[in-house]
Structure 1
Amino acid sequence: MTIPGIILAGGQARRMGGGDKGFLPLGDGTLLDRVIARLGPQVSGLALNANGDSGRFAGLGLPVIPDSLPDYPGPLAGVLAGLDWAAGQGAEAIVTAAADTPFFPGDLVARLVDVSSDMDVPLALAATPDPERGMSRHPTFGLWPVALRHDLRTALEGGLRKVVLWTDAHNAATAVFSGGSYDPFFNVNTPEDLARAEEMLEVMA
């Protein structure tokens, strides 16, 4: 399959005081710089899901795709926007990654494709082991088939907001990643998280 990557940056970053979390500094660049560098080699092309003035992302040189539904209905709206864009590109599926998660696995796409390879309509989410819940799924990191975009649109227009309710309804596969010494899906929601990300970056260097 030809699989473009969609970086989900449509959130409002309330816990960071608003604005675009992706532009927060990390190491010698930004959060978005690290996400682009990590996802780019794994996919056939990249686009950014974000709302508002797309001009603020002009320096990235990426297509910017806004939500097609109003009032920030959550990450599934970004997935739908990505699927609609990918359909116009002739792609069969997309992989999504969050703009605030700088350390996700370098084999994310390969593993998502592998666990869903026997499905008629491949759909998969990333997950990590959780000592309390057994498994913690990461719904902004997934493989999404273009064939289900109209089903997703109908679900969103009907009020669905929780990602896993929709993915479970379609028997999504799960790709389990072990973080080892760090959580590969650690995301930055607060200033304290950003400081922690800097510490993690130093350890990995």
Structure 2
Amino acid sequence: MAVQMPAAFVLASASPRRRELLAQIGIVPTLVLGPDIDETPGRDESPRDYVRRIARAKAQAGIERALEAPELAAGTAFALLACDTTVAVGRRILGKPRDRDDAGCMIDLLSGRRHHVLSSVVLRRPDGGLAERLVDSAVTFARLSAAQRDAALESGEWNGKAGGYAIQGAAASLIRFLSGSYSNVVGLPLFETAQLLRGANLLA
């Protein structure tokens, strides 16, 4: 896969999973920034509106930081990628668990039920224009036994993961159905991201 990067490519995310996923399509960011924004859902905000808003906020914060970054010379052309991923059960938004008890509540809610993993990807092209895609994957957990629930919490994989689980980890043995993008559930939908990059002539 041919990569046609501009002078700089900025990833507006501190997630190591997103860096690993980008590497699968041959992209190594020039600069990695972790925008610090308030990710609190708005009152009555739908999961789709929420994930779009947060991704756009991450992109804007990342652009502002990149324009001031000493690693990028003034006037340097750069592309920037931002993404937000959330788990939704109906209209309920499950972010990253605050602690083990919160993770347990999330796992209990997901047990035996279908939920949706939503990602919004925003690309800032080298010309300054923006493009974005929203991706929706459906995931169903088996009904978990008490032992499986305890093992999921003991693993610690819930820490820092939307919905309290990592499909690329031990939770894979508990998921009985997946419809849509696997990489989306990990944290970055690769096909749609590649399509955005191709649309900006950054990827063959």
Compute the TM-score of the two structures, normalised by the length of structure 2: 0.32
Choose 1 or 2 for highest CA Rg: 2
Compute the TM-score of the two structures, normalised by the length of structure 1: 0.32
